[in-house]
Chains A and B, each alone.
Chain A
Amino acid sequence: MTQRQRGPEDRAADRFTLDVLREAFLAVADEMFVSLQRTSQSPVIYEVLDFGVGLTDANGELVSQGNGIAGFLGPLGEATRDVLRRVPDLAPGDVVATNDPYAGGGTHLSDVALVRPIFVNGELLAFAAAKGHWTEVGGKDPGSWTADSTDVFQEGLQLPFVKVYRGGRPDRDLVAMLRANSRLPDMVEGDLVAQAAYLEVAERRVRELCDRYGSRVVADAMREVHARSEALARAALARLPHGVYEAGDHLDDDGVGGGPIPIRARVTVLPDRMVVDLSGSSPQVRGPVNCTWSGLVSGIRTVFKAVTDPVEPASDAWFRPLEIVCPEGLVFNARRPAPVAAYFEATEAATDLVWKALAPALPETLTAGSFVSVCATSIALTHPDTGEETLLVEPQPGGWGANAVKDGEHALVSVGDGETYLIPAEVAEQRYGVLVERIGLDVVPGAGAGRRRGGRGLVREYRILSDEALLTVAFGRHRFAPWGVAGGRPGSVNYVEVVPADGGMPRRFGKAASLRLARGDLVRLVTGTGGGHGHPRERERGLVLEDLANGLIDEREARDVYGVSPDPD
């Protein structure tokens, strides 16, 4: 659409125009986000919202973003800046794709970033970028991400900053190659087309803003967003309790026999900056739970944002006061060709470590430990009614920790997820041909007890109705339970249990890759209770009785842990 009323070209940006443009940049990101969600063919995008979109300035500094999950705080800007470094011949209508885990913005091969330069009057003004989880990019296991790869070559097709669109048109050769390397070629092509379409819409919106306000004013407004963002972040830092905080923990295992994996963070909160040092953590491991620099940055930024100001829109400049120290070659900053398919386990662990270090000092902002694992689940199977190949991919929600002012939440998606929706039983049965026998809260006696108690985890049961199915899961915190704070009890662990139809012994585990299931087998997915806050004996009697009436604790727990008996006199 063209504007009839044109503002005076390049007039000095008055301050209120900048306020209006700041909101306009957010609106562009929101529009890209909502539209992509509505048109995507990948359930991981439309249901799980495992994607992020945004605008950057001409230097690749993120100005605004629309996010479905918390985890994508950083890759968009980093990917764009690497595009600037690596792709010298950028032209209007180009779209560059990258999923290189070890380069800018890379996490694992399933997450593909697309970057489109926006030229106005022949001048590079901005970039539109989108990064989303594509359901199938090849590799050794259906769904591409897995729990037992030992190098990146087993994890799928690599796209190292290649032009997938030139002059507004998809590169047919490249699309053919993408299709040939995927088990679900239509889905891959559909996601590419939808994702690229929204970059074009973003470009159109930016042009409209330039028509109205002048391109120099738009560029000024982007700079202003950065200045303001950084100022707000520093102001928030100044209010935090300053000091040095430390925490240690473990990742369960590497999925191929190694572990536990020690990890450690030292967090220094200064009035004008925060330093997070992970040097004390384990070297990279043989299995796919490593993350690379972008994954680490996202993980740390998530908790930095939470403790500074969770509400203000994020930009790259917000994180200028954040310094991350982690030498290459560690589990949090892995080197090529380390396996990274389940990178989110290390990313979430990094978030959780800093969270754990700071929680005692911020008892109302941060909760006790949560189930923190994506609890990524995928089941590949043939739909018994339609005969179609399907792939059920979903994260699982679990119990969150309590803090000084509230009980933990029951069954809520993990910190790395966000506006992520659990797949309804009615939809799962129709779409994948499984039978859902239960979606409920899992009550583990004693877990997460506290003055404020941890939230309960989820139990979900799938009965396999097809002749066979392949199960891949990565459930972290399978050995090390969520931590309590200030006398609160630890929560409980996440696990997967398979009850064979043939009457064999049930098996319980945290990770599996392409585990073969037979018709009638039951898959029970169970997530943990979050940690408690404060001593359980200090919990108000009325609240204990209410939990008891609601079956969230049993009489024994009420009596032995909380010191409350239902009949007092």
Chain B
Amino acid sequence: MPGTGLREHPTLLSRKTREEARIRYRTAIDIGGTFTDLAAVELSTGELTLSKSPTTPQSLDEGVMAALRRSGVPADAIERLVHGTTVVINAITERRGVPTALVTTRGFRDVLEIGRANRPDLYNLSYAKPQPFVPRRLRFEVTERMSYRGEVLRSLDERELKAVARSILEAGVEAVAVCFLHAWANPAHERRAVELLGELLPGVEIVASHEVSGQWREYERTSTAVLSAYVKPVVRGYLARLRDRLREAGATAPLFAVRSGGGVASFERAMRAPINLLESGPVAGVLAAAEAGRRLGASDVLALDVGGTTAKTSAVIGGRLRIETLHHIGRTPRFAGYPVQVPVVEIVEIGAGGGSIAWADEAGGLHVGPRSAGAEPGPACYGTGGEEPTLTDANLVAGRLDPEYFLGGSMRLDPDAAWRALERLGASLHVSARDAARGVLRYAIAQMAHALRLVSVRRGHDPRDFTFVAYGGAGPLHAAALARELGVTQTVIPPAPGNFSAFGMLLSEIRSDAVRTHVGRLDPVALAPLFDELEKEAREGLEEQGANVEVHRFAELRYVGQEHALEVPLDPGPVDEALMVRLRADFDRRSEEAYAFSLPVAVEIVSARVSVSLPAPPVRWTSAGRGSPVGRSFGPREVDLDVHGGRRRALVLERSSLEPGRPVEGPCVIEEEASTTLVLPGQRVEADDLGNLIIREGS
């Protein structure tokens, strides 16, 4: 690879020389549950470097540095580093944050524990609510009060606050969240409280709710502030450690972390509001899928990421990701979860991944997931102690996976174990192992199709108009059947589908969002200054101010009387009456699309958002995914295609052997290092110049 010569004498060449030589790597590193993935592009040649290293949960930076070493990318040749990390979500789900206290308005200290009092598991009369991250004894009240219009009803009692600070000091916490009622309308009291607490509690991390959320609803905002405070010291420590290690290794490049709402933030900015890194990794995959679509000229993309435990889907519409401004950590149909009011790319996740366990209920009904065998004990065919049949086992029994070539041959699968597991399942369903495998595959594919419909048809979009991008280790295996089920015309298996999240980060734009709750009529006099202010705030977040920033403005609107709102983009131009009229018309149209009706009543705005971005420079990925031939010939093998043609012999090809302009007819199986692609009879597959595999119906 280029740069090898330089690496041998790193001290002999000054950085300047190297810059002149233009050997510069844009580098992305994504921490996943099992592996830490690296993808780097050498900017002058567009050549892609990939590496993987086991994730090191105890100290995530170890895995990151190991992945960097394995890649051979010299630290000082990094042009820009983009990082996706699970440090925030891990700290929350494993409760490894710091002891945290809460200071709130008198009368409201129990809001965090009461939550919204909902009981999603309707018939479970032994339901357990989410446990608050701050126990009651560490939740303190002070006298102060704002109205919903931001007027001071009662001024902040600083003597009380000082007394509270003393109690907090005695309690020995490491972080304090401050959330006062209506701080979204006027944060003055929160600001003053942060200032005072900062003086009285040296070394304690203090987070005010208005710093992390401009939205109303006190429980959700309190929860956002508390979780931010709870993880902040941990994330700050992690990012600082990683930064220092990279600097020691010679890296001088700017360092960025991927935010849950898409876009990135500098490490410095990320440390100030780490809660925005919540869903860093999965979001990068969706960004990558959007980019893959864009490069093919498609602005509507359905993204599917099938990993070990879940399948994640998301829709990109008109080139833009759908962002939700309220997200619930750990929410399931049976558990309320923990709310955070930060922008998160909308991803629908279902419990159907390679490791998802298939089972029969007492009435002989088949189910797949949501329980997963994970990496341990793993699918039965891993031979690592798992005995229950999984989706991976069903794929193996159906001949869709090659036992000798799993993960590029680095792991041998045990077909006998898979057969035994499916025989047991079949016995309880009164069918053969082979039929049980068909059933498992059909069920899992139906579930994935359902999730894909949720993000498309349910939003008023016809999936046939979308470009379908499938990735993750197990995505390409199910893509062709899903494409047929949904009727999509173009399916893309991107290069390196198993490293796709890291890859996506290379392509992330630098983006900063500012959101604020503002309830009222569509009045340009009030809205024009609001949008100006938000744009200013969003620009400040970008640090490297550029002339070529893109500004996008959005309004969350609803019919007066409705509770839930739809986000609608604003046309460019000044915020005036004419723009309001167009906005209203757009809202009616979107309401028709999404919910099948519009109403002839007044419309109100609920919140405003401005998103400012520096577009990512183009990255070529021509040679990506070709890889070197493994020097192994693949004979045809028998594959069970079920309803798509039964058991038949299918051609097996190495991915690198496919060339642009030379399509191959299905059925065929395409093998590559970390993934397998299945193509059905009646479909054909072709490599394109960008390194993708494109599957289409018809020959």
Contacts and interface: CB of A to CB of B under 8 A. Distances in A.
Interface of A: 1, 3-5, 15-17, 19-20, 22-24, 27, 31, 35, 37-41, 43, 46-47, 67, 69-70, 186-187, 190, 193-194, 197-198, 200-201, 227-229, 231-232, 235, 302-303, 305-306, 310-312, 314, 355, 364-367, 385, 397, 403, 405-406, 409-413, 415, 417-422, 424-427, 429-430, 435-441, 458, 461, 549-552
A412 B122 CA distance: 12
B561 A403 contact: no
Given A70-B123, A228-B364, A418-B119, 12 more contacts: A17-B442, A38-B595, A67-B122, A69-B122, A197-B596, A197-B597, A228-B363, A302-B123, A305-B123, A439-B110, A440-B111, A441-B114
B13 to A, nearest CB: 59
Contacts of A364: 126
Interface string B340-373: 0000000000000000000001111111000000
A436 B442 CA distance: 53
Contacts of B442: 16-17, 19-20
Nearest to A35: B595
Given A232-B361, A550-B136, A193 B599 contact: yes
A536 to B, nearest CB: 20
A310 B119 CA distance: 13
B216 A422 contact: no
Interface string B611-638: 0000000000000000000000000000
Interface in B413-468: 429, 431, 438-439, 442-443, 446-447, 450, 453, 457-458, 462, 464
B439 A232 contact: no
A415 B484 CA distance: 44
B93 interface: no
Contacts of B453: 27
Given A187-B561, A424-B217, A426-B217, A19 B119 contact: no
Nearest to A442: B110
B117 A411 contact: yes
Contacts of A441: 110, 113-114, 136
Contacts, number: 219
Contacts of B113: 410-411, 441
A475 B561 CA distance: 27
Interface residues of B, number: 74
A409 B125 CA distance: 10
Contacts of A67: 122
Given A46-B564, A403-B126, A422 B117 contact: yes
B548 interface: no
Contact of B119 (A4, A198, A355, A419): A419
B106 to A, nearest CB: 8
A200 B361 CA distance: 33
Contacts of B484: 5
A34 B220 CA distance: 20
Nearest to A410: B113
Contacts of B366: 15-16, 19
Contacts of B135: 549-550
A172 B621 CA distance: 61
A314 B123 CA distance: 10
Given A39-B595, A46-B563, A419-B122, A426 B107 contact: no
Contacts of B219: 424
Q: Give the interface SS of chain B, mostly helix, strand, loop or mixed.
A: loop
A567 B600 CA distance: 68
B647 interface: no
The 5 closest A-B pairs by CB, nearest first: A397-B117, A310-B123, A438-B107, A550-B136, A41-B561
A229 B363 CA distance: 8
Nearest to A423: B116
Contact of B114 (A43, A410, A437): A410
Contacts of B450: 23-24, 27
27 contacts: A1-B462, A4-B487, A16-B438, A23-B447, A35-B596, A37-B564, A38-B595, A70-B119, A197-B596, A235-B362, A302-B123, A303-B125, A305-B123, A403-B126, A411-B110, A411-B114, A418-B122, A419-B118, A419-B119, A419-B120, A422-B114, A422-B116, A424-B217, A426-B184, A426-B216, A440-B110, A552-B136
Given A305-B123, A419-B120, A41 B559 contact: yes
Nearest to B139: A550
Interface in B583-601: 591, 595-597, 599, 601
Contacts of B367: 19
B118 A427 contact: no
Given A418-B118, A422-B114, A429-B147, A306 B431 contact: no
A20 B108 contact: no
Most A Cβ at <10 Å: residue of B184, B442, B596:
B596
A411 B84 CA distance: 38
Contacts of A43: 563
A422 B119 CA distance: 11
B148 A430 contact: yes
Nearest to B336: A419
Nearest to B116: A421
Most A Cβ at <10 Å: residue of B120, B123, B124, B153:
B123
B562 interface: yes
B77 interface: no
Contacts of B447: 23
Nearest to B519: A430
A19 B352 CA distance: 15
Given A19-B439, A46-B562, A194 B597 contact: yes
Contacts of B361: 232, 312
B125 A366 contact: yes
B561 A425 contact: no
A69 B226 CA distance: 30
Given A16-B439, A232-B363, A439-B107, A39 B118 contact: no
A142 to B, nearest CB: 16
Interface in B92-147: 107-111, 113-129, 135-137, 147
A419 to B, nearest CB: 5
Contacts of B601: 186, 190
Contacts of A303: 125
Interface in B213-241: 216-220
B170 to A, nearest CB: 13
B181 interface: yes
B108 A439 contact: yes
B182 interface: yes
A367 B126 CA distance: 7
